[in-house]
Structure 1
Amino acid sequence: MTDKELKRLSRAELLELLLTQMEENEKLRKQLRKAQAALRDRRIEIENAGSMAEAALRLTCIFEDADRAARLYLENIQRMARKGGEEL
């Protein structure tokens, strides 16, 4: 709306226009709050996903270490069994 058109409006029309703009402004503020909350939730999900990936990686390392220890233990048991069999 141009300045000329605004100047031609009555006070009632201007107040109605202002009220409409205020309602639209409030509606947009609500949408913004919802979008910000959704973004915040998404960031938390992304941060948690990173933490979960780190935890999975650490668990993988732990399992690999446990597997190596178990294999070493079995090799030692087999070696001891072979030595024991040789002595008999």
Structure 2
Amino acid sequence: MKIKNVGGVIVGLALLLLLPGLAAAADKARYNVLVVMSYGPDYEFVQKVREGIELVLSDTCRIEYFYMDTRKNLGGGPQKAKAAYAFLKKRVPTV
């Protein structure tokens, strides 16, 4: 059997190989997650928490982090809370 359109067959095979990856990439953007941490990113336990979040959610979510770092700057907590809220508002679509 002779294939007349070899280019079309190659493109078809390439699409079959790429579509599962494209579907996974599209699925990943299905959820947006904002994690607000009261401590800064330099604490070991915060890094472990982040690793756990990434391990569980990274396949299906786009994850963003906001660090308030109130452990080092407790007095700046209210200002950081307002900044976290503003950060969130920029990411929530208006319907």
TM norm. shorter chain > 0.5: no
Q: Highest relative contact order (Cα 8 Å, sep 6+), 1 or 2? A: 2
From the CA coordinates, give the structure whose radius of gyration is larger. Answer: 1
Q: More helix by proportion, 1 or 2?
A: 1
